[in-house]
Chain A
Amino acid sequence: DQQVKQNSPSLSVQEGRISILNCDYTNSMFDYFLWYKKYPAEGPTFLISISSIKDKNEDGRFTVFLNKSAKHLSLHIVPSQPGDSAVYFCAANGDDKIIFGKGTRLHILP
């Protein structure tokens, strides 16, 4: 039973445009939601998080939106840059461990 779902395995976006990565979850008890970025042959790197009591958190080019009623969150990257090409994992913190989605591979096109 997947508690964190990323339904898009891949996404291609033109450089300079907005990238929007989506994530759904099932467990209402999660208290933090996180996004990680992963390059090949490296471990995941923490990008940004949001508390379950907030609906938006912004850090530079990255903004995470949380819609609790829909159990949905999204990561916006504006503007998209070539170095943003990577796999992005949505994750949720509950019961003292982080649970990850399957990831979305983002391709930034020149």
Chain B
Amino acid sequence: DTGVSQNPRHKITKRGQNVTFRCDPISEHNRLYWYRQTLGQGPEFLTYFQNEAQLEKSRLLSDRFSAERPKGSFSTLEIQRTEQGDSAMYLCASSLAADRGSGYTFGSGTRLTVV
């Protein structure tokens, strides 16, 4: 297993455009998380899935954001009508639900720049 994979690594988009990011978790992990990190801040929770069910969404996740995890495997995060404030590093992580002490395995992230 190659760990958590995120694509693309970098994305530059014009304000108002839609963008979609993909995350491929560790295959045996049943939980998948999306976080956002801005400069000088720690990762902030956005949403998570257990298998294909989206169990929680942060209030940070406006209605322009949508995440899916069809078939409980890879996940996509879509941002519609991007705004400059959406510029950030978007991090995906995965874990086994029962293993609370081992933390999550993070991918390298997708850096979004909205111009």
Contact = CB atoms under 8 A, between A and B. Distances in A.
A78 to B, nearest CB: 22
Interface of A: 4, 6, 9, 31-32, 34, 36, 41-46, 49, 51, 89, 91, 93, 96-103
B103 A36 contact: yes
A63 to B, nearest CB: 16
Contact of A103 (B42, B100, B105): B42
Contacts, number: 60
15 contacts: A4-B42, A41-B108, A42-B109, A46-B102, A46-B105, A49-B101, A49-B103, A93-B103, A96-B56, A97-B56, A98-B103, A98-B104, A100-B44, A102-B40, A102-B42
A32 B102 CA distance: 9
Contacts of B4: 43
B107 interface: yes
Contacts of A46: 102-105
